[in-house]
Amino acid sequence: NAGVTQTPKFRVLKTGQSMTLLCAQDMNHEYMYWYRQDPGMGLRLIHYSVGEGTTAKGEVPDGYNVSRLKKQNFLLGLESAAPSQTSVYFCASSTLRSREGLLTDTQYFGPGTRLTVL
Amino acid sequence: AQSVAQPEDQVNVAEGNPLTVKCTYSVSGNPYLFWYVQYPNRGLQFLLKYITGDNLVKGSYGFEAEFNKSQTSFHLKKPSALVSDSALYFCAVRDYKLIFGTGTRLQVFP
């Protein structure tokens, strides 16, 4: 049971390049999230998904796109990278009910991807 | 709009002493409050949460948090700090999503 995994761990891009970050979870969670973490700003939600085939915008969606074609995967895309997108990106997942049947909304986080845009 | 505030960027405490990391919230309705911890180069880990019930919530690694409705606070506490508790701590409130505070760096000195 790997939990939430992210690939790649590190990436350096030039301005204007594109890339896709992959998030995978093996907990059969319905909800998945992409955050970015910047110094002094905490975590900010980029996009999220409440189920396979559905996505929604978070606080800071501009410049990013997402897709959730399979329940276990949530992809974050940067079509034309900008230096302002230099950040650490975290994926998370959660479920509505725990294995015991209790309502829960605890999010489980991946280890992060450090992206630098030059 | 829901929000949380962590007024201290850093908290320093000696090992063995009690620690408190402060969090205040602003919500409409009943708050769902969380504490997460982030160790260096790692993702966030869930510590504890308050949804309803007892105002004192116990969590992982000996941490607890006290929900105070009149002061709109949800401070994280531990009776005896360990050097291994040194990390970045985030308070969060759930709206339709989690809204995180800016984080407090806890430094425990031997």
Residue pair B74/B92 in contact by the 8 Å Cβ criterion: no
Q: Which residue of A has its CA nearest to B91?
A: A42
Q: What average pLDDT does the structure give for chain A? A: 92
Best probe of the B interface among A9, A106, A108, by most B CBs < 10 A, is A106
How much is the pLDDT for A2? 79
**Would you say residue B1 has pLDDT above 70?**
yes
Q: Which of A76, A84, A72, A70 is nearest to A15 (CA)?
A: A84
B48 vs B21: CA distance, rounded Å: 14
Chain B environment of A112 (Cβ under 8 Å): 41-43
Q: Report residue A62's pLDDT band, with 50, 70 and 90 as the boundaries.
A: very high
A23 vs A4: CA distance, rounded Å: 7
Higher pLDDT, B44 or B97: B44
Q: State the nearest Cα–Cα gap between A7 and chain B, in angstroms.
A: 13
Q: State the nearest Cα–Cα gap between A92 and chain B, in angstroms.
A: 9
Q: Which of A75, A71, A51, A47 is nearest to A61 (CA)?
A: A47
Best probe of the B interface among A48, A98, A105, A113, by most B CBs < 10 A, is A105
Q: Do B44 and A92 touch (CB under 8 A)?
A: yes
Mean pLDDT computed over B11-39: 94
Chain B environment of A105 (Cβ under 8 Å): 32, 94, 98
In the block, which residue shows the tokens 């009943």? B30
Task: Report how far apart, in Å, the C-alpha atoms of B79 and of each of A42, A76, A79, A109 are.
Answer: 26, 41, 49, 27
pLDDT digits (tens, 9 = 90+) for B37-70: 999 888 899 999 998 888 999 999 999 999 999 9
B93 vs B3: CA distance, rounded Å: 7
A71-80, A94-103, B11-20 — which is least confidently predicted? A94-103
Q: Do A112 and B41 touch (CB under 8 A)?
A: yes
Q: State the nearest Cα–Cα gap between A80 and chain B, in angstroms.
A: 26
**Would you say residue A84 has pLDDT above 80?**
yes
Q: Do A43 and B44 touch (CB under 8 A)?
A: yes
Q: Which of A4, A96, A39, A87 is nearest to B88 (CA)?
A: A39
Residue pair B99/B92 in contact by the 8 Å Cβ criterion: yes
